[in-house]
Amino acid sequence: MPTVNRLSEFLPEIIEWRRDIHRHPELLYDVDRTAGLVAEKLIGFGLDEVATGIGRTGVVGIIHGRPNGAGPVIGLRADMDALPIGEATGLGYASANPGLMHACGHDGHTAMLLGAARYLSETRNFHGTAVMIFQPAEEGGGGAKAMIDDGLMDRFGIDEVYGMHNMPGIPVGVLAIRPGPLMASTDDFEIEVRGRGGHAAEPHKTVDPILVAASIVAALQSIASRSVDPLESAVVSVTRIHAGTASNVIPDLAKLSGTIRALRTEVRDLLEERLKAVATGAATTYGATAIIEVQRKYPVTVNHPEQTAFASSVAASIAGTDRVDNQTQPVMGAEDFSFMLEARSGAMIFLGNGDTAGLHSSQYDFSDEAIPFGASFWIKLIEDRLAA
């Protein structure tokens, strides 16, 4: 069991906070209810400062240790937003907002950090300052960058920053981490193929953009297999194709879109370069034109070695050495905590969620059994990193 046993005194409350947040999911930056609940709780816990509206709807809580907060400043981050997915769990606390649900466990992340904030505010058994960061818009909105752009790191003097994400498939009570790349970069692309439409009975008089689009889809598969070192990780996925309005009309345009992902910045750059070259070449072959737009989203999530080793030692003190995987495999999912790790040294750790449905599934639910481990990790991280 986790070593911070005092959490058991108010664990039922943390679970209720989590389920209340789960019941009322909100998207991106429109997390007014959740952010309001967080701010209300933090004020009630007696934090030294509670700032709202950071990065539009982010909340930051400040806890000074003894004496007077003198010492380093450590940031702990939880995300608050949900997803545009209809919930199909049938739980008693299932989403009350149709078409929205906490399918990634941000309800659990928020509740665990609230629990840690309460404990740390009551005990203050550390020298320095703990900064509780509650972030909006992780799911595609870049809320971490918005908070940084709004002065998060400099305003609150943050020296190091740590993040946590639950992970289905890892047993409850197990934590996983690794130095270096942990999660992939993610970029979106859109390719507009411009051909020449006409009657479907006379294809020889047209430049068929659908044929060109199909050729581009096939050609893009060669990038990861032939342009990238086999020892590197790379994903190029076409996820949408839109073209045409009638069965007897060859259209003028076809549009493709999708995602590219990598675990190193150099590979990320290569994927974009090759995507543009391959799509342009395939279109030219058929006498069409390809207009390509790549939108850079989240960078690679890179854990800093020293902070990773420290976080791993904290995890071992909570769960036991045999229940910490400190060389876990990277994943190709992306995380905007990467922006915070570009701004400050720190690390992200995975928290086991057990044998549950996968992230972003309509059947997913955060495991309440994981709460003591996650909240205890945050508490021990602050108390050990800022040891008196």
The CA distances from residue 189 to 240, 253, 271, 281, in Å, are 10, 16, 11, 16
Mean pLDDT of the chain: 96
Q: What is the rounded average pLDDT of the residues 301-327?
A: 97
Report the DSSP beta bridge partners of residue 50. Answer: 61
DSSP label at residue 3: S
Unique residue bearing structure tokens 């989203």:
297
Report the DSSP beta bridge partners of residue 237. Answer: 259
Please give the distance of CA 52 from its chain centroid, rounded to a whole number.
21
Q: Where are the alpha helices (DSSP H) in the chain?
A: 11-23, 32-45, 106-123, 143-149, 152-155, 209-222, 265-285, 305-319, 337-343, 371-385
Give yes or no for a contact between 223 and 275, defined as CB atoms under 8 angstroms apart: yes
pLDDT band at residue 67 under the 50/70/90 scheme: confident
Sign of the alpha-carbon torsion through 315, 319, 321, 326: negative
On the question of pLDDT at 388 being above 80, the answer is no
The long-range contacts involving 7-13, CB below 8 angstroms and separated by at least 24 positions, are: 7/115, 7/119, 7/372, 7/375, 7/376, 7/379, 8/372, 10/115, 10/118, 11/115, 11/371, 11/372, 13/115
| Alpha carbon distance 215, 217 (integer Å) | 5
On the question of pLDDT at 3 being above 60, the answer is no
pLDDT for 8: 85
pLDDT for 7: 83
Please give the distance of CA 249 from its chain centroid, rounded to a whole number.
42
Q: State pLDDT tens for residues 104-159.
A: 999 999 999 999 999 999 999 999 999 999 999 999 999 999 999 999 999 999 99
On the question of pLDDT at 56 being above 80, the answer is yes
pTM of the model: 0.94
Sign of the alpha-carbon torsion through 2, 7, 13, 17: negative
pLDDT band at residue 4 under the 50/70/90 scheme: low
Three-state SS string across 89-125, please? Answer: CCCCCCCCCCCCECCCCHHHHHHHHHHHHHHHHHHCC
Q: What is the rounded average pLDDT of the residues 225-252?
A: 96
pLDDT for 1: 46
Q: State pLDDT tens for residues 204-231.
A: 999 999 999 999 999 999 999 999 999 9
Residue type, position 99, single letter: G
Give yes or no for a contact between 236 and 260, defined as CB atoms under 8 angstroms apart: yes
